[in-house]
Amino acid sequence: MKKVLGVIKKFWFLIPLVAALLMFLLLPLMPEVTEYVFSRGLFKVVTVPVGAITSFFPFSFTELAVILAIPVIALIVVLLVRKLRNREENLDKRKILVKAGRTLCGFISFACLMYMICHGANYYRLPLEKTMNLDTSQKDAEFLLEVCRTLADGAKSASAMLEQNDDKTTKLPESVANEFKRTANGYDKLVSDYPFLWTSVNKQKPVLLSEPWSYTHITGMYFPFFAECNVNIAQPAYLIPSTAAHESAHSRGIAFENECNFLAFLSCINSDYAEFRYSGYMLAFTYCSNALFGYDIEMWAEADKLLDERMRADFASNNEYIYNHSSHNTGTIVDEVVNTVNEVSESVNDTFIKVQGVKDGVLSYDRVTQLILAYYASV
């Protein structure tokens, strides 16, 4: 017993890592326990107060951490080297290195546990279709086309209340900061029926370095350690509201991307603000029309005819945005760098999703269509 206690005392800093590993291995086997103990319990207890604090500030702590990471790490290394040089005996140097190693391992260990509590466990909760009582069974192409008509009509109705830029694209009525304050409005309508969606994180953060970030093809990111929703504001304006709503879903305990996209759509179309309704309908139309393309090209052509001038201009602006931040195989150094960033970013994102147990990786994003169809089948 003394030996066991001695080992624990010596390696106590690895206890959080062991706890995180046990959560990673056991929670997938207990979705109901994960749902009610972790996702609706411990996750809320930890992230709600943290999110309330970080939401109070207008800048992104995540972006600040990324900017400061390299100089801080460099400073720590310099200080460690200086400390080692000031010690003449090898024994002292070994103690310093061991202490530094234990500190680093302890930091990583604690970070792993906090990740599992603040986000990772949510991958193993009950699926959204079960908690929201949605039938995600296969729907036929005719129903999919009808949903596309409904979505197009919704987009047109909302866009009639919004101004346009000179190039016919949609113009947001408020500043980005004020738009983010409106994100919670649609969710407030859902919380009464789905209390598990409640959160105190009601302000998303604009990323100042959005332009270079666009080359990763990532339009938003939830950083669980700060319970912070970060949004790429370089993307076309019509996408910003639904992206903010998507990241907000993460802060409400939803981990899967397809579920966050569905909740972004659902919260947006329930919003009092036209720009959010338009963004939500456009998001859903994109997924449903793409799915229809895979079913029947002629039906897809019918859906394409539903687009008006405003919708076509916004979709075109997004295509241009993606093109301008992608590699074009020109052979130049700049193009090679862009291509590398694109590939690394997508590979890392795909691997991260698969590690959480999503076998099809980034392809799971397209599964949002099932939830959209299930929603319209229930109304």
Q: How many C-alpha atoms does 362 have within 13 Å on its Cβ side?
A: 10
Q: Are residues 223 and 274 in the same domain?
A: yes
d(CA 25, CA 245): 30
Q: Are residues 46 and 66 in the same domain?
A: yes
Q: Are residues 170 and 280 in the same domain?
A: yes
Average pLDDT of the chain, as a whole number: 87
Q: 97 pLDDT band (50/70/90 cuts)?
A: confident
Q: 90 pLDDT band (50/70/90 cuts)?
A: low
Q: Which residue reads 């076998």 in tokens?
A: 359
Q: 215 pLDDT band (50/70/90 cuts)?
A: very high
Is residue 133 over pLDDT 80? Answer: yes
Amino acid identity of residue 145, one-letter, is L
**What does the buried/exposed string (b/e) look like for 6-15 if buried means 16 or more CB atoms within 10 Å of the residue's CB?**
eeeeeeebbe
Closest CA to 27 of 126, 102, 155: 126
SS3 at position 11:
coil
Q: Are residues 133 and 100 in the same domain?
A: no
Torsion of CA 319, 320, 326, 329, to 10 degrees: 100
Q: Are residues 273 and 257 in the same domain?
A: yes
Report the phi/psi class of residue 162: left, alpha or beta, with left for phi > 0 and alpha for psi in -120 to 50: beta
Measured from the Cβ of residue 200, the count of other Cβ atoms closer than 10 Å reads 17
Residues in the chain: 379
Is residue 84 over pLDDT 90? Answer: no
Amino acid identity of residue 115, one-letter, is Y
Among the residue ranges 69-83, 105-119, 316-330, 356-370, the one predicted with the least confidence is 356-370
Among the residue ranges 82-91, 123-132, 190-199, the one predicted with the least confidence is 82-91
Q: 10 pLDDT band (50/70/90 cuts)?
A: confident
Q: Which residue reads 């981990």 in tokens?
A: 255
Residue range 281-310: mean pLDDT, rounded? 93
Is residue 362 over pLDDT 50? Answer: no
d(CA 133, CA 148): 22
Q: Are residues 73 and 160 in the same domain?
A: no
Q: Are residues 160 and 75 in the same domain?
A: no
The pLDDT of residue 243 is 98
The pLDDT of residue 129 is 95
The residue ranking higher by pLDDT, 345 or 207, is 207
Amino acid identity of residue 184, one-letter, is A
Q: Which residue reads 């000031």 in tokens?
A: 86
d(CA 329, CA 338): 10
Among the residue ranges 92-101, 159-168, 221-230, the one predicted with the least confidence is 92-101
Q: 324 is written with which tokens? A: 């301008």
Give the phi and the psi of residue 148 in degrees, each rounded to 5: -60, -40
d(CA 311, CA 327): 26
Residue range 43-47: mean pLDDT, rounded? 96
The pLDDT of residue 98 is 80
Amino acid identity of residue 307, one-letter, is L
Is residue 344 over pLDDT 60? Answer: no
The residue ranking higher by pLDDT, 26 or 351, is 26
Q: Residue 164 gets which letter from DSSP?
A: B
Would you say 173 and 163 are in contact if contact means Cβ atoms under 8 Å apart? yes
Neighbouring-strand partners of residue 206 = 231
Q: Are residues 314 and 211 in the same domain?
A: yes
Pick the last residue of a domain from 76, 106, 124: 124
Amino acid identity of residue 21, one-letter, is L
Q: Are residues 10 and 150 in the same domain?
A: no
Q: Are residues 44 and 171 in the same domain?
A: no
> How many structural domains comprise the chain?
2
The residue ranking higher by pLDDT, 321 or 354, is 321
Q: 87 pLDDT band (50/70/90 cuts)?
A: low
Pick the last residue of a domain from 98, 124, 150: 124
Angle at 197 between CA 229 and CA 285, to 5 degrees: 70
Give the phi and the psi of residue 65 in degrees, each rounded to 5: -65, -40
Q: Are residues 203 and 352 in the same domain?
A: yes
Would you say 136 and 365 are in contact if contact means Cβ atoms under 8 Å apart? no
Pick the last residue of a domain from 82, 109, 124: 124
Domain limits at 360? 129-378
Q: Are residues 61 and 135 in the same domain?
A: no
The string of pLDDT tens digits covering residues 307-328 is 999 999 999 999 999 999 986 6
Would you say 252 and 145 are in contact if contact means Cβ atoms under 8 Å apart? no
The residue ranking higher by pLDDT, 349 or 207, is 207
Q: 318 is written with which tokens? A: 């997004």
DSSP 319-376: HHHHHHTS------HHHHHHHHHHHHHHHHHHHHHHHTT-TTGGGGGGGHHHHHHHHH
SS3 at position 231:
strand
